[in-house]
Amino acid sequence: MTDTGADRAIPRPRGAAARLIGRKLALVGLVLIGLVVAGALFAPWIAPFDPNDQMFDGLTLEGAPMPPDGKFLLGTDLLGRDLLSRLLYGAQTSLIIGVVANGLALLIGTLVGITAGFFRGWIGAVLMRFTDLMMAFPALLLAISLAAIFQPSLWIVAMVIALVNWVQTARVIYTETTSLATRDFIAAERTLGASTSRILFRHILPHLIPTIIVWGTLGISTTVLLEATLSFLGVGVQPPTPSWGNIIFENQTYFQTAPWLVFIPGAAIILLALAFNLVGDALRDVLDPTQRGRD
Amino acid sequence: MAAYLIRRLIQSALILLGVSFITFFLLYVLPADPVRQIAGRSATAQTVENIREQLGLDKPFVVQYGRYLTGLLQGDMGRSYLQKTEVAELILSRLPATLLLMLGAIVCELVLGLSMGIAAALWRGRAVDQALMMTSFITVSAPQFVVSLLLLYVFAVRLGWFPIGGYGTFAHLVLPALTLGILGSGWYSRMMRSSMIDVLRADYIRTARAKGLGRARVVLRHALPNAILPVIAMIGIDIGIFMGGIVVVESVFGWPGIGQLAWQAIQRVDIPIIMGVTLVSAFAIVIGNLLADLIAPFIDPRITLR
């Protein structure tokens, strides 16, 4: 993805219908995100039951989970807890990890990318070789090993995810910074005697903000998926704290007789990840004119 | 070319060295004590110390890592703490299953992804295109375990077409390969779509149409061969993505490959196996990327290797 002036000058044409659909999909994504955020924020008020209450009438006479009905809108889980309530509280977990882990990854990635791209020299070489090295890591395997060996808590899981997820951002920011650093207006600033920090914060960073926003949004989707996967394997967020991944982990044994316990949280994970992908992709179109019409 | 190859090989070797160092270091500093796992709960302090000494885990980090590396250069990946077997042997015995799954997954990805991408390019901007691109968005947003469980529920539990897990026949391969294939298809379909759109714009395609050739013939004989090449070159990169994801799929389907081996080892803190599988995966990733770069100039003569 070379970023040349020529590409910027001639945006490729794009059909009005496609543009509309793009915005429509972004709108769908925003609405989904809004719903999940609202569900997470207002969980204490809108959840019909306590998410950890193992209700006596929450299990059938044989001790199996209850299917969805008038009282338990989405049914109950293997311990007789209300699934809807657990999902609403689980949304808190997903969003906290999504924001914290991804924020941390974004911060590391941006720092590494800017430093390597702007200062070049041996610092840049070392940082970028290290980034290459991280690219060769089987990330999921690393995350699972780390999460399993620590006694995982919400914050440890967020740290582990940040640790394996900063690499992509670093690469993109590095490429953008190197091309920015050689542009004329930066040279002009230098000639005028601007300090390094002024160039970095007043001139380089503002140009990187669209990229950071796009990758930040797309990254939340990756983070949500990684958290769900770790929790599904039992090395992520630990029960009884509900997370969409560990609800599936806990109820796996009932997956043949009570499939809603697996597929309702599963659908929630897909919808949330999809929402962030849709919004991120639309943002890329809106914020980066060179990408317009490419897809 | 030769100089390029040598430089890339040295780079790859250094990357693998770095991966081995970081993994070893992380497993060394982390709070899990493998000796406790081996000795069991009732072991005396003396037994624990003996085991620690036997395994060389009482030595300083540099000595332990040096020892591991010397062994590695001679093809010795150490012994499993719990299974008392050579790690290299364990991995070799599991590798064929993983490679088979990889082959199946890549075939599924290509068949699904390429046909979706071609269809989307041909009906660009229409409902078909939008539906297909939405599908590709969904596939990159779905976690492996949800798709695995969904396919298991529909095709194994409900319809009973395929076994619920295990290894041995072609029927066992279908669902795990399809899981990975569906998830990877979104990536290929987007690449195929944009590659195809670029080729369809080319002058020689217009010439072919102007000569009076039918649309089907132009697409299949003239456009497709050129459009498909850059996508095929990406298979190397895809191997890396694949290696990252086998742990979940192999665990859910009970597929006896190195992903399942790694997952069992992680649960028991069997460090030599975790090290071994990490290195083999990193090796596959590095080789995959190298292949993708080496193939590039054959596909597009404008690319030169420097």
pLDDT tens for each residue of B257-270: 898 898 888 888 88
- The shortest C-alpha distance from A113 to chain B (Å) reads 19
> Looking at this predicted complex, what is its ipTM?
0.85
Residue B125 three-state SS: coil
- Mean pLDDT lowest among A237-251, B27-41, B268-282: B27-41
Kindly tell me if the per-residue pLDDT of A255 is higher than 90. no
- The shortest C-alpha distance from A233 to chain B (Å) reads 8
Kindly tell me if the per-residue pLDDT of B160 is higher than 70. yes
B78 part of a folded domain: no
Task: Say yes or no: B145 contacts chain A, CB-CB below 8 A.
Answer: yes
Kindly tell me if the per-residue pLDDT of B111 is higher than 60. yes
pLDDT of residue A273: 92
Residues B145 and B283 in one domain: yes
A290 pLDDT tier (thresholds 50, 70, 90): low
pLDDT of residue A294: 47
Residues B37 and B149 in one domain: no
Report the pLDDT averaged over residues A166-189: 86
| Higher-scoring residue by pLDDT: A187, A226 | A226
* Structural domains of chain B, count: 2
A14 pLDDT tier (thresholds 50, 70, 90): low
State which of A92-96, B60-64, B168-172 shows the largest mean pLDDT.
Answer: A92-96
Residues 150-169 of B with CB under 8 A from A: 150, 152-153, 157
Residues B93 and B224 in one domain: yes
A22 pLDDT tier (thresholds 50, 70, 90): low
Kindly tell me if the per-residue pLDDT of B175 is higher than 80. yes
B82 part of a folded domain: no
B306 part of a folded domain: no
Residues 97-136 of A with CB under 8 A from B: 130, 132-133, 135-136
Kindly tell me if the per-residue pLDDT of A295 is higher than 60. no
Average pLDDT of chain A is: 81
Tens-place pLDDT, residues A77-136:
777 788 888 889 989 988 999 899 999 999 999 999 998 888 878 888 888 888 888 888
Kindly tell me if the per-residue pLDDT of A10 is higher than 90. no
Residues B29 and B144 in one domain: no
B236 part of a folded domain: yes
pLDDT of residue A274: 92
Residues B102 and B28 in one domain: no
Residues B174 and B69 in one domain: no
| Higher-scoring residue by pLDDT: A264, B237 | A264
pLDDT of residue B112: 93
B183 part of a folded domain: yes
pLDDT of residue A5: 41
Report the pLDDT averaged over residues B113-124: 89
A16 pLDDT tier (thresholds 50, 70, 90): very low
Report the pLDDT averaged over residues A234-250: 86
- Supply the CATH number for residue B215's domain: 1.10.3720.10
Average pLDDT of chain B is: 84
Residues B64 and B99 in one domain: no
Residues B13 and B158 in one domain: no
Q: Residue A136 and residue B157: Cβ atoms within 8 Å? A: no
Report the pLDDT averaged over residues B74-102: 85
Residues B69 and B103 in one domain: no
Q: With CA atoms as reference, report the closest residue to A161 among A243, A219, A241, A239.
A: A219
Q: Residue B142 and residue A273: Cβ atoms within 8 Å? A: yes
Which residues does chain B have within 8 Å of residue A273's beta carbon, measured at their own beta carbons? 141-143
Report the pLDDT averaged over residues B4-9: 87
Q: Domain boundary at B50, B73, B96, which?
A: B73
Q: Domain boundary at B73, B97, B115, which?
A: B73
**How many other CB atoms are found less than 10 A from the CB of residue B166?**
12
* Domain assignment of residue B216, given as a range: 87-299
What percentage of chain B carries pLDDT values higher than 70? 97
pTM for this model (two decimals): 0.85
B59 part of a folded domain: yes
Which residues does chain B have within 8 Å of residue A292's beta carbon, measured at their own beta carbons? none
What are residue B195's phi and psi, to 5 degrees? -65, -45
Residues B108 and B230 in one domain: yes
Residue B86 three-state SS: strand
Long-range CB pairs of B23-27, under 8 A, 24+ apart, other chains included: B23/A142, B23/B274, B23/B275, B23/B278, B23/B279, B24/B64, B24/B65, B24/B68, B24/B275, B25/B61, B25/B65, B26/A142, B26/A145, B26/A146, B27/A145, B27/A149, B27/B271, B27/B274, B27/B275
Which residues does chain A have within 8 Å of residue B263's beta carbon, measured at their own beta carbons? 144, 233
- CB of A144 closer than 8 Å to CB of B259: no
Tell me the β-bridge partners of B86: B79
Tens-place pLDDT, residues B12-39:
888 899 988 888 888 877 766 677 667 7
Q: Residue A232 and residue B143: Cβ atoms within 8 Å? A: yes
Q: Domain boundary at B22, B51, B73, which?
A: B73
